[in-house]
Structure 1
């Protein structure tokens, strides 16, 4: 799926010259946690989010705790924080470095950007203009809208189930050698020695995604820990 499949096309925006309180009211009135900032020509110049507004002198939340060495190395950081907490207009409070995507960006790339950059929403651009917003909520809504896979008309054999599962596990580092998978009457039995229960959980989830699997039985043993290690 791509951005145009899930994005919100009704975009609520704010202007650089708006006061911070006016912009905060826009977010509250529309029940959103952030909005793109557009200039008079409709060009994207920034984004204003809850993160830009939570450290404010009006709320007595302006003071931020940082390690002493970070304060020592970056006096400019304090200046940036001061502007954020005391700014009267959106132009000074907004985040200017905006990460955006286009309509054809794959959702996998969107999810990676949101995770690595720790952001909740991305403006969607077309020819430099904002045409939508894609948010974490949009991705969750898309997941909820995916139809359930129909049950296969013909149940695969145990041998076929095992082959499909082995193919699914191929290339994953947690599916290491030293384990054995036995499928009997549609139930996957996992044997062997493990380092981590997370690996067993991953194996179980993989098995449950294979058509025809009726159950999962864990017979693994924990890897013995050597004394003194």
Structure 2
């Protein structure tokens, strides 16, 4: 299997000028832990994670004093940390120029990339434009499914996956951003979180009614308030 077999599509993104407060709202409402920062053409400029926002909270109301004292007693030129803790826009607090991958990268190579660079997720690009994101959870689901299978998934499986995700998004009343669909030889696994039991059933019905599906394993869970995704 490859990156495009497990990646989360329809990724929530922000622009460089998006305010920190808006970013926090997006993370909470969509139950995700990071958002790519993209330009008008869809090129990935950076990533803002919940960790970036938490650093601001940890600094609290004394963040200005803490930065000033650190500069005096350590002699460090910590301008970058100052911007990270005081910035008000995505472009000021994001991790710039993040690693990206192509859709065709085998999952084994994606795993090595995440491990080597100690990152939790990686944007997927096509012609330098964002088309998805692969998180550690996506990766583990895919690797578990294909541990005894070749890395190249049949084209029919990709068509089935695309059809299921389109049906869920367009007609099942479920937010596709919280769901991942894996297909191997027509066998489907549904992963992720939904808001209600009815949505869990709706996603399964959408998969079962898709041409080419042999069986469906429904691993969807109900999302506790505040739980993050990718």
User: What's the TM-score, normalizing by structure 1?
Assistant: 0.56
The alpha-carbon deviation at position 47 of structure 1 amounts to: 1.0
The offset of 1:24, in angstroms, is 1.2
Task: Note the C-alpha offset of 1:112.
Answer: 1.4
In the other structure, the counterpart of 1:45 is: 45
Q: Does 1:28 align with 2:28?
A: yes
The 8 Å contact of residues 107 and 143 in structure 2, kept in 1 or not, is answered as no
**How far apart, CA to CA, are the structure 1 residues paired with 2:15 and 2:45?**
9
CA distance in 2 between partners of 1:146 and 1:16 (Å): 38
Alignment pair present for 1:116 and 2:140: no
Partner of 2:15: 15
- Name the residue aligned to 2:138: 138
1:41 shift after superposition: 2.6
Question: RCO (CA 8 Å, sep 6+): is it higher in 1 or 2?
Answer: 2
Aligned partner of residue 54 in structure 1, secondary structure: helix
Identify unmatched segments of 5+ residues in structure 2: 150-230
Counterpart contact for 1:99–1:122, Cα < 8 Å: yes
Shift >4 Å, 4+ stretches: 61-64, 146-149
Structure 1: tracts of 5 or more residues without a match: 150-229
Whole-angstrom distance in 2 between the partners of 1:7 and 1:20: 26
Relative distance call for 1:58 and 1:15 in structure 2 (3 A) is farther
Could you list the per-position Cα deviations for residues 118-170 of structure 1 after superposition, in whole angstroms to 9, with x for gaps in the alignment?
A: 11110001001001101101012224434889xxxxxxxxxxxxxxxxxxxxx
**CA deviation string 1:10-38 (max 9, x = no partner):** 21111111111111111111111111101
Which SS does the other structure have where 2:133 is aligned? strand
Work out the CA distance in 2 between the residues paired with 1:147 and 1:81.
42
* Alignment size in residue pairs: 142
What is residue 84 of structure 2 aligned with on the other side? 84
Residue 95 of structure 2 aligns to a residue in which SS?
coil
Q: Identify if the C-alpha distance between structure 1 residues 43 and 28 changes in structure 2 by more than 3 Å, giving closer, same or farther.
A: same
* Rounded Cα–Cα distance in structure 1 between residues aligned with 2:117 and 2:11: 22
Q: 1:30 to 1:3 in 2, by over 3 A?
A: same
Per-residue deviation at 1:59? 5.7
User: 2-side partners of 1:58 and 1:20: how far apart?
Assistant: 15
Between the aligned partners of 2:148 and 2:126, the Cα distance in structure 1 is 33
Shift of 1:57: 5.5
RMSD across aligned positions (CA): 2.6
* Partner Cα distance (1:110, 1:148) in 2: 17
Greater helix proportion: 2
Deviation at 1:40, TM superposition (A): 2.2
Q: Does the 8 Å CA contact 1:57/1:86 hold for their aligned counterparts?
A: no
Q: Distance in 1 between matches of 2:96 and 2:28?
A: 22
Q: Using the alignment, how far apart are the partners of 2:58 and 2:45 within structure 1?
A: 25
